Structure 1
Amino acid sequence: MSIEEGVLYVVATPLGNLGDISARAREVLDGVALIAAEDTRVAQRLLSHLGVQARCVSLHEHNEAARIPSILQILSEGASVALVSDAGTPLISDPGFRLVRAAREAGVRVSPVPGPSALIAALSVSGLPTDRFVFEGFLPSRSARRRARLQVLADESGTLVFYESSHRIADSLEDMAAVFGDARLAVVARELTKRFEQVVSAPLGELRAWVRADEDHRRGEFVVMVAGLPPSARREPSGISEAHVIEVLARALPTRQAADLAALITGGARQGLYREAQRVKRDGGDPDVGGA
């Protein structure tokens, strides 16, 4: 194939097994003028394996905005650029969204070079329904915010899909079991396509115990999939109002945290909830007016 001029190629790369690189991805990486990589060290290992020599620059969450003008300049001059993440398909819980949006707004053609994705790979072997699923990416790092987000998803009927890191997998499964119940069926996919790949299906209570029982079960990169709530188990609406939620939270928590959690629980506008939390604080004589 020939590399078109002035195109931003979004290139999927292997999750772990380098044999999963496509012939088209190899040709694109070998033919572009520049590769924008989440981590240039990771990209260089792949390029060395492929025998590709190409100029790489880093593009990650901390420098993406600053990199965009120079990359757009290269594209405007007729050269082509490839965007890659550390593994899988770029932009799926990885950097690149701002660059792709800016390129499209500038009239640059953006072309996908499809391939591996941990999300799709995990779903394909999960044994859970895949006709409808909700991808949440990474949950909040703090338990209170994580549980609040999970509570919003508790009645979701589609399969729930999350990414998780090794240092939070045990705590996340703990919170999922607390919110969804120990009996809810789930699947943990660990180190997909790599030497120690594991896909384990069990109720959340058992998965929680499995992860905590062995340090090796907490190593690597994880996709967690949770079965949706069956229609027969759906709860009737509680009738609890947005005003009641913010009233309760504002009396127990700092204003900002109360507003954040109320927004996650109710789906309401955070700004309005923040003002309501301030009112509750004033009326209740709480010293934390406009808290932190």
Structure 2
Amino acid sequence: MDKAALYLIPVLLGDTSVERVIPEFNKRIVSELKFFIVENIRSARRFMKKCDPGIDIDSLTFYELNKHTNKKDIEGYLAPMKSGNSMGVISEAGCPAIADPGAEVVAIAQKKGYKVVPLVGPSSLLMAVMASGFNGQSFAFHGYLPIDSSKRVSKIKYLEM
């Protein structure tokens, strides 16, 4: 890692072993970084331990970015990059910044001229298109469906129009 970068680190989807889906390069990046912006600290720590069982979790700094985060605090999360430190962004599942609060920190990093590096890994969106049998040449993503069943039905009816 030469220049400070913001690494977008995909995580596991469900209960899959890390060896099956996370490239060695990603595991090495996770092991080398000291600063992370995460959606949930607890699940990020679990993922990191799967990537590198010997990682010293207590020596790392975590900034939590989720729906409860004050928007004014987000820019400050990138402070380690000012000092030349690379950082990682970890979501709850799949790829950060796709229908995810990580998009906000990526936009700020780009505005500030920081290098943003998306890493290869599982993406629920692309996996759904791949498994659908539909032609993936042209599709639109309207966000994930709501968890609440009545809201989900309403959203599906709206999308069918």
Do both share a fold (TM > 0.5)? yes
Q: For residue 125 of structure 2, what is the aligned residue in structure 1?
A: 119
2:148 is the counterpart of 1:167: yes
2:56 to 40, 53, 59: 53
Alpha-carbon distance in structure 1 between the residues aligned to 2:151 and 2:79: 45
1:94 offset after TM fit, Å? Answer: 0.7
1:96 maps to: 102
Report percent identity of matched pairs.
Answer: 25
Q: Which structure is higher in strand share? A: 1
Distance (Å, rounded) in 1 between the aligned partners of 2:27 and 2:88: 11
Tell me what 2:34 maps to.
33
Identify the match of residue 82 of structure 1 among 71, 83, 88: 88
1:69 and 1:171 mapped to 2: Cα distance?
A: 33
- Displacement after TM superposition at 1:167 (Å): 2.7
Matched AA of 1:18: S
Greater relative contact order: 1 or 2 (C-alpha under 8 angstroms, separation 6 or more)?
2
Q: Deviations over 1:43-79 (max 9, x none)?
A: 1111122223342221113326343343322101011
Amino acid of the residue matched to residue 23 of structure 1? E
Partners of 1:10 and 1:90 within 8 A in 2: yes
Answer with 1 or 2: which has the greater Rg: 1
Aligned: 1:23 with 2:21: no
Paired residue secondary structure (1:57): strand
Q: Report the Cα offset of residue 23 of structure 1.
A: 1.3
| Paired residue type of 2:156 | M
Aligned-residue RMSD, C-alpha? 2.3
TM-fit CA distance, 1:166: 3.7
Is the 1:10–1:112 contact (alpha carbons within 8 Å) kept by the matching residues of 2? yes
Cα distance, 1:179 vs. partner?
7.2
Q: Distance in 2 between matches of 1:67 and 1:27?
A: 29
- Which one-letter code corresponds to 1:121 in the other structure? M
Q: Is the 8 A contact 2:146 2:152 kept in 1?
A: no
Shift of 1:165: 4.2
1:73-222 alignment to 2 at 5 Å? 73-137=79-143, 163-168=144-149, 171-173=151-153, 176=156, 180=160
Per-residue CA deviation, residues 176-231 of structure 1 (Å, 9 max, x unaligned), is: 358738xxxxxxxxxxxxxxxxxxxxxxxxxxxxxxxxxxxxxxxxxxxxxxxxxx
- Look up the SS of the partner of 1:133 in the other structure: coil
Q: Which 5+ residue runs of structure 2 have no aligned equivalent?
A: none
Q: TM-score, normalised by structure 1?
A: 0.48
Aligned length, in residue pairs:
153
Shift of 1:175: 5.8
What amino acid is the match of 1:93? A
Task: Note closer, same or farther for the CA distance 1:67–1:18 as it changes in structure 2 (3 Å cut).
Answer: farther
CA–CA separation in structure 1 for the residues paired with 2:66 and 2:158: 34
Runs of at least 5 residues in structure 1 that lack an aligned partner in the other structure: 138-162, 182-292
